[in-house]
Structures are given as structure tokens and as C-alpha cells.
């Protein structure tokens, strides 16, 4: 799924890590850990083509990461960054906003154009309204997932659908994280990139997240690359990449 060859990333001419060789296969849950400033988040951002690499190569699902293949690569990725703080009205809008991220769209071209009045495409605005008004996801939602899939992910992560109608400001950090993760898992993408998805969770919910990702990888044949400092989560990973001292 992902192959890194002699990869070097730098920030303001300061190397974060250099000469990294690493392979992640389909069906694996892989954790990325390391001290602050070692390039964990930067690695995820490089894989989705947000920041340039300094040296080496990245290959995703058999495609080289370059200007010719970046769109096709993003078609295969569901990505939830740690710093995602969308201006969402409620829990349902968090899901719609997650799916509206450019690299999370399941279709080659979105049929919706962004509205001048809102950061959401019009389709995502209507989806958020539908979710809020129904207290969950039912027939008629036009997000990039099967409604039953999103409902099952919310249930697996112990999120009551009624929380989707709650104002975003009233959701706890842990509830927001689990809603965003459910949205990513519901996308029909083979590769998940997640940045600190359990940082606001207690041990029980960290285990829920890990088990949901293991099911996605081991049973559905997906792969997940997850930045984490959480020892509870990391012990569930098939392997852990430590960027310290690279």
C-alpha cells in the first residue's frame, strides 16, 4: 500500500528525518510514533501531497507520488488531520465537512461547486441538514458512503446518533474525534491516514478506535497509518514505526 525509499523530509531546511525505508502492506494497522518534531504529521502530509519531499520517493498503492499521479493517489485515501477544526454547526456537519475535504472525495470530480456563502459544497450542506433532522443517517443521504456503513461505524465507536444534532461546541474533544473517524471509515477508501485520533480519548474508547481500525484492516483488507503517542492504541498495531533518531 505504501512504500518509502530513502525518504527525507525537512522543515525550513532542518531535516526532520532522513533515509527512511519503510513498507506497509494491505491489511496492516501501522502506528507512527516518536518525539515531538520528528516529522510524524509531516509524513502523513507528504503522503497526501500537501508538502514536498526533500529526497527519496513515496509510492502509494503502486503509484509514484508525483504531479501525474497525486489525484489518483488521493482517490484511495481517507485522511483526518489532527488540526482539523472545521467551522461546523453540529455533529452532522462534522461528517459532511470531513467528506468535503479534497482528498476524501470518493468521486473523480465532485458534482458540486463550493458555495460562496459556505465552506461546504452544496451537497454537503444538504447532507448535514438531513443528518441533523433525522438524528442519524437514512435513505436519501448523498455522502460518499452507504448510510448503513456510517451508522455501523458510529455504533462501533459508541457514538449515539442523537449527538449529530448537538452543537459542535457542546461536543467533547473525544466525541468529535470519534465522529470524524466514523466519517473516514465510512468512505470507500482502501487507505486510512489518521493523525492522533485518540489524543482526547480514555483507555476504553482508545481500544474501541483500535478495534474498529483492526476490523477495517484485517477483515476488509484496508490499511491504516496512524500517528499516535497513545500506548493503549499502539499496542494494538501490527507494527510501529518510531521516527526518533532517524
Residue of 136 and 26 predicted with greater confidence: 26
In the predicted structure, residue 106 carries a pLDDT above the cut 50: no
Spell out the domain ranges in the chain. 1-76+190-210+219-246, 88-109+117-188
Q: What local confidence, expressed as pLDDT, does residue 108 receive?
A: 32
Find out whether 120 and 93 touch, Cβ atoms under 8 Å.
yes
Asked if the model's pLDDT at residue 161 lies above 90, the reply is: no
Query: What's residue 105's pLDDT?
Result: 58
What is the per-residue pLDDT across 107-122, written as a single tens digit (0 to 9) for each?
A: 333 333 333 232 223 3
Shortest CA distance to 165 belongs to which of 99, 85, 98, 92? Answer: 92
Among 29-43, 82-96, 120-134, 198-212, name the one with the lowest average pLDDT.
120-134
With 50 as the cut, is the pLDDT of residue 129 above it?
no
3.30.70.1290, 3.40.50.300, 3.40.50.2300, 3.30.43.10: CATH of 1-76+190-210+219-246:
3.40.50.300
Determine the pLDDT at residue 148: 56
Percentage of the chain beyond pLDDT 70 is 76
* Rounded-to-integer distance, Cα 220 and Cα 213, Å: 10
Arithmetic mean of pLDDT, 128-157: 54
Exposure string over 134-173, b if 16+ CB within 10 A, otherwise e: bebbeeebebbbebeebbebbebbebebebbbeebeebee
Looking at the predicted structure, is the pLDDT value of residue 46 above 80? yes
pLDDT beyond 50 at 125: no
Cβ count within 10 A of residue 39: 23
Interhelix angle for 173-186 vs 203-214, to 10°?
0
Mean per-residue pLDDT for 17-30?
97
CA separation for the pair 107, 145 (Å, rounded)? 11
Amino acid at each position: 500500500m505504501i512504500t518509502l525509499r530513502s525518504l527525507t523530509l525537512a522543515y525550513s531546511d532542518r531535516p526532520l528525518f532522513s533515509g527512511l525505508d519503510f513498507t506497509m502492506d494491505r491489511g496492516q494497522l501501522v502506528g507512527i510514533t516518536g518525539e515531538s518534531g520528528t516529522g510524524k504529521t509531516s509524513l502523513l502530509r507528504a503522503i497526501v501531497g500537501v508538502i514536498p519531499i526533500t529526497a527519496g520517493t513515496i509510492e502509494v498503492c503502486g503509484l509514484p507520488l508525483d504531479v501525474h499521479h497525486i489525484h489518483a493517489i488521493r482517490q484511495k485515501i481517507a485522511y483526518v488531520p489532527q488540526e482539523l477544526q472545521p467551522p461546523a454547526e453540529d455533529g452532522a456537519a462534522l461528517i459532511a465537512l470531513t467528506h468535503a475535504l479534497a482528498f476524501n472525495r470518493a468521486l473523480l470530480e465532485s458534482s458540486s461547486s463550493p458555495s460562496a456563502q459556505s465552506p461546504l459544497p452544496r451537497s454537503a450542506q444538504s447532507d448535514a441538514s438531513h443528518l441533523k433532522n433525522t438524528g442519524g443517517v437514512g435513505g436519501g443521504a448523498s455522502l460518499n458512503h452507504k448510510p448503513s456503513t456510517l451508522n455501523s461505524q458510529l455504533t462501533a465507536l459508541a457514538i449515539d446518533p442523537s449527538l449529530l444534532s448537538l452543537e459542535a461546541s457542546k461536543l467533547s474533544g473525544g466525541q468529535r474525534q470519534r465522529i470524524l473517524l466514523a466519517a473516514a471509515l465510512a468512505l470507500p477508501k482502501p487507505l486510512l491516514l489518521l493523525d492522533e485520533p485518540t489524543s482526547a480519548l480514555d483507555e476504553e474508547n482508545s481500544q474501541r478506535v483500535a478495534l474498529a481500525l483492526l476490523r477495517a484492516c484485517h477483515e476488509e483488507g484496508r490499511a491504516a497509518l496512524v500517528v499516535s503517542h497513545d500506548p493503549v492504541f499502539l499496542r494494538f498495531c501490527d507494527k510501529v514505526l518510531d521516527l526518533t533518531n532517524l
